[in-house]
Amino acid sequence: MRGSFYITLAFQLLLFLPSSNHLPWHHSNSNSNTFKNQNTVSAQIIDDNNSGQCTTLQDTTNYMSTPSVVSKVLNYLDAHRTLLENTIFRSYTDHHQNVTKPSTQYKYADFRSALEWMAGTGVERGETARDRGGGERLAFYMGPDNCNGDGWHVGLANVAAFLGQSMTMVILNDTCDELNWEMVFPRTGSDGFNGFYPLSNACGQHGVSYTSSPPHNECIGTIEEKYACDVDPYMTMTSQSRSPFEGDAPPPLQCFPRTPEQTTTGHYDPMLLNEIKGGMMVNEEGNVWPSYLGRTDVEGCCWWGRGALHTKGVCNLGKLNYYLGKRAADEGRESKYGDIDFCANPEATCSDDERTMEMRWIVALFEWVERVQTYENEENGWNYIEELTKFTMDEGDLIGSIKFSFGKGEPTHFVDEVGGVLDQGCPFPPCNRERPQRLRWRTSRKQNFITAVEGVGLPVKSESYRATEDHFLDPIIKGDLENKMLQSKSPLDGTMYQSYRYHFDDFMESLRKMSDIGFGINSEDITDYTSHFYIGQGVDGWLGSNSGKLNIALFMTYAIEMSILDDACDEHNTQKVNGRYPVSNACGMYGASYQDMVCDDDGEDKGMECPLDASQSLSGVTRASDYRAPQPFKCAPKSQYPITGFWDEARLEENHKTAFTNQIGRIDVEGCCWWGRGVLRKVTQGRCFYGQLNYHLGKRAATEGRPSLYPKIDFCEFPEAVCASEHSNELRWVSGMFYWIRQIQSHDEDGWNYMEKIREQAIELESGAALDPKLVTAVGCVLKTGSVDCVPDEYLTERASEVLALTTGPQRPTESPTLTSPPSSSPTGFPIVAPTETPTMDPTATNPPTGAPNTLDWPSPQDVDLIIRDIEEQRGLIEEQLLTPRIKIDDENLYNFDMFMSALKVFADRSIDGLYFYVGHGVALNYARRKRGLINVAAFLAHSKTLAVHDSVCDERNTDGLEGRYHPLSNSCGQYGKMYQNMRCTPKELEKGMECPPDPGMQISAVDELTGREDDPPPFFCGPKTYFPFTGYYDGETKQVMNDEPFANRGGRMNVEACCWWGRGAAQVKGVCMYGKLNYYLGAKAKKDGRRSLFPTVDFCKNPQAICSGKYSYSLMWVTALLSWVETVQSRGIFSENLDRIADGKMGYEEFIDFLSDEVLGSGEDDKRETRANFLLAVDALGLRQTRQKSITGDAPN
């Protein structure tokens, strides 16, 4: 009965799509292995005897794409010109950055002209006369001319990446020259409003000297130093650009030599709106402020950024002159600007000459090619072309992938890595170990990259898919799909919950790939329903629309029945033999032998099956959610399991003491790796199916020169990739859609043609008829037996009857009375990070660990949703009062509201085994309980602001100065008498392996905070005695590190060996026990133990610095703090009692927070006072002291 509701609902949700058409192209997701080095990025294809198989040939001499590929990109950009001009080539009208206008400095026509030249002609790279005339050229990469015919999509992504960075750096401010934007602050009393702009910022900003240091002068001291411009101390120059906004904007940058009358330059004071000239006033206190680089003059400092990427530095401008300028012409090489000496006149790029409008793009495109496009580093394993291709071809939902990591989100995205290469010289900032800095403007880069990706028209989608996507993205339809169809059922109590494994976004991306891209030699033709999932493409009007959505509805029905309801990917052990479950059921159930399911000898699939490999050893990742159910299927050679037994339901373990046969007589699991997997797991079995999958979608297709969606996956060697690989979120769906295309859509036997049947049915539905139950029954028969002539079981008949009764028109059906209403939200409704790996076991496969003894009642999903809404309504006040740092450097906040809410949702929903953050229980009916939860949130935020948020720090700072001035470097081992490696776990916790073992060989450096000053002690570090036999101290008065002799901290430590456990994140978690608990509950150990892990690739014991400078740092700063709060605060019985007292009005706010600071947190007096003030701000921000109407049951305040 339950299935009928789903097919009815599925079909109703798909009604009345717009008409479908198709484009003459398709988007492929082939992550070709073509780009192994930067000399092999251009490709051509040949067709061998019209066989449909192509060979990609690499041109190893050029960086240039073929003319046809260049034309495709340029023509596509021209078709999107209006969109580009309305989104990308626009600048802010004022410093509030709310309104934009067409840019006057950067226009599409100039960019397009520059791009055509840089991609089609490029720059001669030959160093000698012999090299010239056919040698290697530097050109903007427009993608490969590949087998799939979609390589130009990579070129579009390259254009988007470039334009996104250009928007961030110049277009939105409409300036050609770099602006003076870096403030310095007085050494005392800084409140964020009394900073100055040194005029000497012309010499360099953001810790980079434009005359001497990387990343913009990486040639200094290398063989490439020959490119560098000579620094002329007598050069005098003034920037052509100043801030376009009225108000507190510094004057343009300038350079000039020092003179006896003016030995120094001054600074610009935005509060006084004037410029103080240093000069003779150097001895007057307060008039001469050095830049962060220590410069107090601008002699020889004419190398600031110019052009569409603000190309800067003596090396970059020197290379520009060497390849494009006067030096190239003087030395007999091709030269685009042979009359311009960029070393003698670096301001030429921004002059009033009309040709500079194109030149500022040429300059930027050249830098992009020379510094970003050709970036390849074997040490960090990052290659721009490979990462660009992976982003374009593998990412799927390009915009969604960016937005997921948007706003300090995780994981680190391709756009962050590109920004790192351009800004700091490596993809994983901080790149400078001596003075580490975070990537600036990270959020803006993401925003602008999204705009650029959308502006250039990525991803390329057919009109039929766009129509389907637009329909499904309707909030009501999407909500129904998620809340009524993508629901799983608990075998224990029958309650429904949102599936862990089958998500809306994954379904949509898989649908796009299989409908727009498809597989096989006919993949170019998206109307070929034998190689593409049918959504109506190729059939005009309502007939295509209705028949397409009927196909989706039928597919979804069987997907729900076979896998989604059970929340499973692997086929489960469900057949009993003589009352027991044989382990050898992995070889086949109900009379089937999966390894003997080979392809027909006389069909087109002859010989396509996977070879039988007796040495294969695999294990499934899912089993039935009932804890009594058998373990996941496995296969292994007889050398590992000579015989296999059965699942012992009494002892809940496998018994292999004696052989136990399955129905077909197997007593081993050798060669038995071919069980069903994916959304149609009950039919996707056998060596033939996995061989077909590999031939059309996997590694075999790529190896043999055919288009391949997953060219790196060998489904014969690793069939479990469907359920346990980096692509498994898609492959669960894709494998089922592939089977559906070949088994259902292609079925045309004995007068029964599926495609004709669904089109006939679509016509009947349009006239008001109900869905024919015979069609549903026939589809089920073909799906399971390959023939329409089968005897349907009673279940199919019942389902078809209900479909007939419910599917009567476009009205939304009422919910089936046989279904249990699903909860209002899923435990994973607000994910912190996209899961990087499929869990090795089902979340319920093992008993969860016993967490800290939580003394507070567990909130229901409804409670969590209500409190989350309460908090989100107060977003503005929370951001202003609690999440704004003392000193705001740029548009980035280290701790932001979105990431806090994501982390809170996960912890409140008890997504961490055995742990939850208390937000109130029964809050819908009782204000006092809601107040208890909000007070807990307020106390947490107040504590976080005191420890880290207000100072915008992640790594603990060296603050424990002896005699007020001497800061031991060994304070990384512990401050104020504490020794972090001695902060041990209890014996019971040790038994569970919760504690990190100190590693004397570990070497880590903390990240310098954004608001740090030059006179702060250096960041913490740890390392072995072999590198650091002893450590000294930092002298706060002389501002120097003294490391000539040992200097002990308060705990007596004079070295930093195994001292990597300093505080990190919003709660400054510290000590070997707490980091061990992070690993146990959140990280690699949870995964290793078979428990659910939010960060399965993060080993907090081996890399505690992941919190502050790892791939997931912006999530971990909050997540680790919440776990610490649960462990150290919520586990205290007195805390629960005090929450009751304050909620009931028996305890004041200040008394509550002071008690918490004294008795639970152990805060010092200064922190105690600050936390008290922050708590009162949090109470107000969350609206706890506002008068409320008595709209809910309970005692609301009067």
Question: What six digits make up the tokens of 1097?
Answer: 């690739």
Number of residues in the chain: 1198
The number of C-alpha atoms within 13 Å of 971 and in the hemisphere containing its C-beta is: 22
Helices (H), 807-919: 861-873, 875-882, 897-908
For residue 293, with 0-12 CB atoms within 10 Å meaning exposed, 13-18 middle and 19 or more buried, which class applies?
buried
3-state helix, strand, coil in the chain (%, to 5): 40, 5, 55
Range ranked top by mean pLDDT from 15-19, 47-51, 359-363: 359-363
Identify the helix (H) or strand (E) that includes residue 1093: none
Quote the pLDDT of residue 218.
62
Distance, CA of 516 to CA of 469 (rounded, Å): 12
Mean pLDDT for the stretch of residues 947-956: 90
Percent of the chain, pLDDT > 70? 79
Range ranked top by mean pLDDT from 3-17, 899-913, 1001-1015, 1109-1123: 1109-1123
Residue 692 has pLDDT above 50, yes or no: yes
Distance, CA of 367 to CA of 312 (rounded, Å): 10
CA 608 to chain centre: 37
Distance, CA of 523 to CA of 286 (rounded, Å): 71
**463-507: pLDDT as tens digits:** 788 788 878 887 777 887 888 788 888 877 788 888 889 998 899
State whether residue 162 is helix, strand or coil. helix
- Residue whose C-alpha is closest to residue 1110's, from 1010, 1004, 1193, 1189: 1004
Residue 307 has pLDDT above 50, yes or no: yes
Q: What is the CA radius of gyration of the chain?
A: 33
Distance, CA of 97 to CA of 561 (rounded, Å): 51
Mean pLDDT for the stretch of residues 614-643: 90
Mean pLDDT for the stretch of residues 663-675: 96
Mean pLDDT for the stretch of residues 704-732: 90
State whether residue 137 is helix, strand or coil. strand
Quote the pLDDT of residue 635.
95
How is residue 621 annotated by DSSP?
Answer: S
Q: Is the four-CA dihedral 1075, 1078, 1083, 1089 of positive or negative sign?
A: positive
Mean pLDDT for the stretch of residues 281-303: 74
How is residue 338 annotated by DSSP?
Answer: T
For 245-273, letters b (16+ CB in 10 Å) and e give: eeeebbebbbbbebeeebebbbbbbbeee
Quote the pLDDT of residue 624.
85
Distance, CA of 690 to CA of 609 (rounded, Å): 7
Distance, CA of 47 to CA of 147 (rounded, Å): 9
Residue 828 has pLDDT above 60, yes or no: no
Cβ–Cβ under 8 Å, residues 308 and 293: no
- Tokens 């019942």, located at residue: 798
**169-222: pLDDT as tens digits:** 889 888 999 998 888 875 444 444 467 888 999 999 887 889 875 665 567 667
Least confident interval from 490-494, 503-507, 606-610, 630-634: 490-494
Quote the pLDDT of residue 581.
95
Beta bridge partners of 44: 57
For 513-524, letters b (16+ CB in 10 Å) and e give: bbbbbbbbeebb
- If pLDDT is split at 50, 70 and 90, which confidence band does 396 have? very low
**740-786: pLDDT as tens digits:** 999 999 999 989 999 999 999 888 887 878 778 888 888 989 998 88
Least confident interval from 57-61, 469-473, 1059-1063, 1140-1144: 57-61
CB count within 10 Å of CB 492 equals: 11
Cβ–Cβ under 8 Å, residues 26 and 462: yes
**227-278: pLDDT as tens digits:** 899 999 999 999 987 776 655 678 899 999 998 888 888 888 776 654 444 3
Question: What six digits make up the tokens of 661?
Answer: 């046969």
What are the phi and psi torsion angles at 238 (to 5°)?
Answer: -130, 135
Least confident interval from 62-66, 549-553, 1118-1122: 62-66
Residue 586 has pLDDT above 80, yes or no: yes
Cβ–Cβ under 8 Å, residues 598 and 686: yes
Cβ–Cβ under 8 Å, residues 889 and 1011: yes
Distance, CA of 730 to CA of 713 (rounded, Å): 13
Mean pLDDT of the chain: 79
Please, what is the Cα angle at 492 between 572 and 835, to 5 degrees?
Answer: 60
